[in-house]
């Protein structure tokens, strides 16, 4: 009789341990999923904050109708800001391609910003057409969002523009003080 009780006790303890292990696994899985959702939300908020650094360009493209004029005069400061803004989109596109962020949320939250850029003939011509070799990633992003991206015209040009259209910020970049190695 004692042997039967010992066998039943071992069986009961084994069953309890089994269900405790399953319960622990379920709780851990739910916690991991909750953490992943929280991290995703934090990522989108951080990305939004990073785009806030380009808010002047964004607002200008939204409200200043002169961006729709192909002959618009673009200051050096505007050119540098636009190049940085478009570069931010290229970085995000790389994350999209690696599936680090989801395409649907990006299109819902940021897609219209690419539309604002694509609606500016002066930006499209000066960057994506005249200097398209430097903007292959942005060109692909715009294409993937359904925009018609004009053909490049820079196939036979040398690589001297650093991605800036002629006269677009080049003078300001060339005037930057040279850094001596080892000095900040």
Give the model confidence (pLDDT) of 109-133 as tens digits: 999 999 999 999 999 998 898 888 8
Structural domain harbouring 6: 1-43
State whether 144 and 57 are in the same domain.
yes
Cα 17–chain centre separation: 47
The confidence score (pLDDT) of residue 45 equals: 83
Could you tell me if 128 and 150 are in contact, meaning their C-beta atoms sit under 8 angstroms apart?
Answer: yes
- The answer to whether 67 and 126 have CB atoms below 8 angstroms apart is no
pTM, whole model, 2 decimals?
A: 0.70
* 39 and 61 part of one domain: no
Residue 136: the pLDDT is: 92
Domains of the chain: total: 2
Q: Judge whether 180 lies within some domain.
A: no
pLDDT at 171: 47
User: Which positions of the chain have pLDDT values less than 50?
Assistant: 159, 161-162, 169-171, 173, 184
């Amino acid at each position: 009789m004692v042997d039967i009780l010992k066998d039943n006790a071992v069986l009961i303890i084994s069953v309890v341990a089994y269900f405790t292990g399953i319960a622990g696994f379920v709780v851990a899985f739910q916690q991991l999923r909750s953490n992943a959702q929280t991290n995703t939300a934090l990522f989108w908020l951080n990305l939004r904050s990073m785009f806030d650094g380009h808010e002047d360009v964004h607002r200008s493209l939204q409200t200043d109708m002169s961006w729709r004029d192909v002959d618009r005069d673009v200051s050096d400061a505007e050119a540098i800001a636009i190049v940085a803004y478009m570069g931010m989109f290229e970085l995000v596109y790389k994350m999209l391609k690696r599936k680090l962020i989801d395409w649907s949320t990006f299109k819902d939250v940021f897609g219209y910003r690419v539309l604002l850029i694509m609606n500016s003939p002066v930006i499209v011509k000066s960057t994506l057409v005249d200097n398209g070799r430097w903007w292959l990633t942005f060109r692909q992003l715009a294409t993937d969002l359904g925009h018609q991206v004009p053909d490049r015209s820079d196939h036979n040009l040398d690589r001297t523009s650093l991605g800036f259209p002629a006269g677009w910020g080049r003078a300001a970049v060339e005037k930057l003080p040279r850094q001596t190695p080892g000095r900040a």
